[in-house]
Chain A
């Protein structure tokens, strides 16, 4: 029921094709700060308003998409408790040693869930060198660049059997489910899941192919910054998917586009404040167009079909 297990998604590793163009996007257009390069040539990045070592790792390879997502828990005891619950739930767990593939990160446990995505959990991570100010803090020390992304916020994953994935997040991570979308037969088409006051830390859409990334979401300050993001999309000839628009689901203010390797990015602001005791919002599948794109009320084909 919120903050009982995981705190938030804290790290993702993305597969990218055109490394230079894609790194330029994350650093100079989205506005993340480059933290370090690993020995095998991956690049670690963070949002200017994030405290931990890094939150996004880019790996150059020949297929776009997502390598894994990692969730931060409050302490080492919680990590061990979660590991035991994962095993009990029925997934095989492996251990990633401290300071191995991800500089600055302590020990992580990882496993693959039913949707084909690799999940990990950790608690220990070194503080970033560049952090938000703490003593009589200003809002930033260096002016945020480009789209002014503050932090990594959430991701939407496509894969099979999302009802099991939803149950996993509740039973193992202690998350709750502020909003769902059901098919006429009562099965889930989509689910929005969180461990905190954010309307979603992650979401799933039912999809036959496993392990797919629909989008990675970054948090912006407000509606004006969503418009600013739209300007940067146009200036840099990035491919727009949809927006600026409003979601009725989560109530977020949003724009979707693709980075140069074809991974969909959402820059997002607002959203309602979720609480674990609030009743769940339920959408019928035939209304999901209005749920996703409140102004037009129409679903667009790319939203259900384009994934990496």
Chain B
């Protein structure tokens, strides 16, 4: 089981995230990063961020009220719905 590093660009924080762990969960667990709460179900949109670089997988549906198809293609995610497939760099949204 791999563990990757997730870095939040302008917050200058880095935390570990296992490959079977949601990025949002790892952020909450680490107590670091800009998002501190949310529905963790892809519904509320609070944890929306931009993936600046790195591989990830969207493993749960993200509400289209918050992530349009174009945004999804552009690397915007709800961090509660994605798992890392390598080290990630995230940027804040908006």
Q: Which residues of A contact B61 (CB under 8 A)?
A: 17-18, 62
- In Å, the complex CA distance between A241 and B44 comes to 13
Question: Given A17-B60, A258-B43, A262-B43 in contact, is the A65-B65 Cβ separation under 8 Å?
Answer: yes
Task: Kindly state whether residue B41 has any CB partner on chain A within 8 Å.
Answer: yes
Segment among B7-15, B32-40, B84-92 that sits at the interface with chain A:
B32-40
Q: Are the C-beta atoms of B38 and A64 separated by less than 8 Å?
A: no
Is the C-beta of B46 less than 8 angstroms from some C-beta in chain A?
yes
- Contacting residues, chain A, for B3 (C-beta < 8 A): none
A307–B41 Cα gap in the complex (Å)? 12
A281 within 8 A of B: no
Which residues of chain A are within 8 angstroms of B39 by Cβ–Cβ distance? 64, 239, 258, 262-264, 306, 308
0/1 interface trace, chain B 37-76, chain A, CB 8 Å (1 if under) = 1111111101000000000000011111100000000000
- Give complex CA distance A65, B41 in Å: 12
Complex CA distance for A18 and B58, rounded to whole angstroms: 13
Contacts of B37 in A (CB 8 A): 241, 300-302, 306
Q: How many residues of A contact B (CB 8 A)?
A: 22
| Bound-state Cα–Cα, A306 to B37, Å | 9
* Interface SS of B by simple majority: loop
| A308-B44 in contact (CB<8A) | yes
Does A305 have its Cβ within 8 Å of any Cβ on chain B?
A: yes
Q: Does A261 contact B (CB under 8 A)?
A: yes
Interface of chain A, main secondary structure: loop
**A149 shortest CB reach to chain B, Å:** 18
A145 within 8 A of B: no
CA distance A65 to B63 in the complex (A): 10
Complex interface bits, A281-308 against B, C-beta within 8 A gives 1, otherwise 0? 0000000000000000000111001111
State whether A258 touches B41 (Cβ < 8 A). yes
Residues of A within 8 A of B63 (CB): 17, 62-64, 262, 308
A258 with B65: CB separation less than 8 A: no
- Is A64 a contact partner of B42 (Cβ separation < 8 A)? yes
Residues of B within 8 A of A62 (CB): 61, 63-64
Given contacts A305-B46, A306-B46, contact A239 B64 (CB under 8 A): no
Besides A241-B37, A263-B39, A306-B39, 11 more A-B contacts (Cβ < 8 Å) are: A63-B63, A239-B38, A239-B39, A259-B41, A260-B41, A301-B36, A302-B38, A305-B46, A306-B37, A306-B38, A306-B44
Q: 19 A-B Cβ contacts within 8 A?
A: A18-B41, A18-B42, A18-B61, A63-B64, A64-B42, A64-B44, A64-B65, A239-B38, A258-B44, A261-B41, A262-B40, A262-B42, A300-B37, A301-B36, A306-B44, A308-B39, A308-B43, A308-B63, A308-B65
Which 9 A-B residue pairings sit nearest by Cβ, starting from the closest?
A262-B43, A262-B41, A64-B43, A262-B39, A239-B40, A62-B64, A17-B61, A258-B39, A63-B65
Q: Residues of B at under 8 Å CB distance from A?
A: 36-44, 46, 60-65
